[in-house]
Structure formats: structure tokens, C-alpha cells
């Protein structure tokens, strides 16, 4: 099994209603791209020792499934869809909840999207990921987004805004000014493939 490319979406002001709404937006977005729900699992306890896992019968169970996930600590929704220009790509949406914020990590197999490790392919996939984040922001209100090889959510939104923009390969931050829904995109000097040296 190879490495994963992780796309993180982080949201402040965690409430159950906001969490359910943003998760619903994300999952329906993926399902709308010729997608199907493949598997759903969630942890019943904070230590992640007792899990519930099932395969939905159809996409009509989205709301019911997401309401159930909202009640528990952690979860994951696997969707097979057309994503980043690839048909039948499996996207694992991992759910993370903290006291004051929450986030989603979209994990995709690096081998499924970067078939040859050359700069042109990596740059094309990078641009597709940036376009996905920009498109999703038109319907979702994340505080910041990122992408990197096997990345994890490490920073609350208020902490993140005080840091330099060199924590992840790609960082997307809303620009809160005159232009509503404008985004700042930062690409660092290492690629999303996990092979490029980080400076």
C-alpha cells in the first residue's frame, strides 16, 4: 500500500448543526460527481476502541448516515466518484472534531492520481486539487484548507492564522475583505508527492 495525498478542510465555531451541514455539503458534492457511498464507519467512544461500520444500500441514506456520524466522536465516509479528473476514484473522508473546531481530511491514494512521478503530472494534479478547493469554497465556508502528502489537521483556525504559510505543500485561505469568497492560494517549494525535499 502506497502513500496518500490528504486534502484538509478546517472549520471554526463547532456546533452540531454546523458540523452536520458542512459534512452534508461535502459528501453530497462528492456524490454529485458520479459518486456512490461505499462505506461508513464511526467511533462510539473517544478512545476509538469501539467502532460501527456499515455499507449503505444507496445514496438515499446520506442524511441518515451523516446524522449518525454527528453524534459520535470520529468517523469516515468512503465515496467512489469522479474526482480530480479520475473516474471511480475512492476518496476517504476522515472526520475530526475538536472542542472549538472541526475538520475533514480527504485521503486519496497517491498511486491512483500520480501514475508517473514527473513534474508535469504532479503540477497537473496540484492544479486540479486547487481547483477542487476553490470550487468547494463556493458552497462551503471553511476557515482554511491545505494539501500535502499524508498530512494531518494540526492547527485550530485561530492558531493557523498566526503562523507562516509553510506548513503544507498547498494552503488556501479565504481573503476577508471587499471581495466576498476570494481566496489566497499558497504553493510551497515541495510537491504533494512526498518525495520532494522540504526547505
| DSSP designation for 198 | P
Q: Which three cell numbers mark 99?
A: 472542542
3-state secondary structure of 6: strand
Q: Residue 131: what pLDDT?
A: 96
- Helix, strand, coil abundance in the chain, percent, nearest 5: 30, 35, 35
Asked if the model's pLDDT at residue 60 lies above 60, the reply is: yes
Q: pLDDT tens digit string along 136-190?
A: 999 998 999 999 999 999 999 999 988 887 889 999 999 876 566 689 999 988 8
Whether 98 and 14 have beta carbons less than 8 Å apart is answered as yes
Domain map of the chain by residue range? 4-187
Residue with cell 454546523: 18
For every residue of 10-78, which 3-state class applies, written as one string? EEECCCHHHHHHHHHHHHHHHHCCCCEEEEEEEECCCCCCCEEEECCCCHHHHHHHHHHHHHCCEEEEE
| Residue 164 phi, psi (nearest 5) | -70, 160
Q: What is the C-alpha to C-alpha distance for residues 137 and 144, in angstroms, rounded to an integer?
A: 10
Closest CA to 96 of 156, 51, 136: 156
Whether 67 and 23 have beta carbons less than 8 Å apart is answered as no
Q: pLDDT tens digit string along 65-92?
A: 788 888 887 899 999 999 999 999 999 9
Question: Under 8 Å CB-to-CB from 127, ≥6 apart: which residues?
Answer: none
| DSSP designation for 187 | E
Amino acid at each position: 500500500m502506497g502513500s496518500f495525498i490528504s486534502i484538509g478542510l478546517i472549520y471554526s465555531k463547532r456546533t452540531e448543526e454546523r458540523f452536520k451541514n458542512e459534512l452534508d455539503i461535502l459528501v453530497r458534492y462528492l456524490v454529485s460527481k458520479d459518486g456512490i457511498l461505499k462505506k461508513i464507519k464511526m467511533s462510539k467512544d473517544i478512545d476509538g476502541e469501539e467502532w460501527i461500520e456499515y455499507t449503505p444500500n444507496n445514496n438515499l441514506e446520506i442524511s441518515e448516515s451523516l446524522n449518525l456520524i454527528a453524534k459520535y466522536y470520529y468517523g469516515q465516509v468512503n465515496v467512489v466518484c469522479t474526482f480530480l479528473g479520475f473516474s471511480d476514484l475512492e476518496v476517504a473522508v476522515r472526520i475530526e472534531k475538536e472542542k472549538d473546531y472541526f475538520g475533514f481530511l480527504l485521503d486519496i491514494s497517491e498511486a491512483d492520481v500520480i501514475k508517473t512521478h514527473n513534474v508535469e503530472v504532479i503540477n497537473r494534479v496540484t492544479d486540479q486539487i486547487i481547483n477542487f478547493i476553490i470550487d468547494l469554497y463556493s458552497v462551503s465556508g471553511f476557515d482554511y484548507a491545505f494539501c500535502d502528502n499524508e498530512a494531518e489537521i494540526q492547527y485550530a483556525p485561530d492558531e493557523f492564522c498566526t503562523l507562516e504559510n509553510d506548513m503544507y505543500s498547498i494552503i488556501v485561505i479565504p481573503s476577508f475583505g471587499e471581495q466576498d469568497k476570494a481566496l489566497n492560494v499558497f504553493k510551497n517549494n515541495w510537491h504533494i508527492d512526498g518525495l520532494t525535499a522540504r526547505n
